[in-house]
Structure 1
């Protein structure tokens, strides 16, 4: 499923090829499904996968992988990457507004909101 986020389906590629041969489509990238990275209920952002590496390290008796490690890279999509009115653009605006609220709360919060007391921090010279 993860691999399908970084490449179009065979049906999409065949249809694009068929239409381009007929001259009824201009060659342009096929739009991939909107992918959301969710890091808690208040941090949901549209992303594009830029890297996907799968290392299969253990297999069953039929050589089906049973253990794998993944490396995933992605780019957060902004309003510069998405057309006006795209659902991903609205999600980015919501993500940005939440980030602004968190930054504002951090500016006004004291050490106590981090679970620290003034005597817990010492500044030394090295």
Structure 2
């Protein structure tokens, strides 16, 4: 049985969990793994890492941020079958509902990849470094 750890700062993070939670397949009731339940200190650590990452992300030119979001969108498209199967196993949805959920989530990425156009005005701020 696998242990599901947190993903913080680009790597797995165990921290100091206060408990573990069984992860059951809702269709079968079978326990497929255990999830580490984060402590308050673990949450604080993740928030601090996120704050630092946001400051670095803000320094990235808009064109590069948009390219990253396009890549993420493509990865979602390339792996939607795999992601749908995980949603089926984890949440008990049927496959077509899972695909629909991914497509609705992808709408956010579609918006993010067009944000450079939406923000375009008379003056373009931070479109390049320096």
| TM-score, normalisation: structure 1 | 0.30
User: More helix per residue: 1 or 2?
Assistant: 2
User: More strand per residue: 1 or 2?
Assistant: 1
| TM-score, normalisation: structure 2 | 0.30
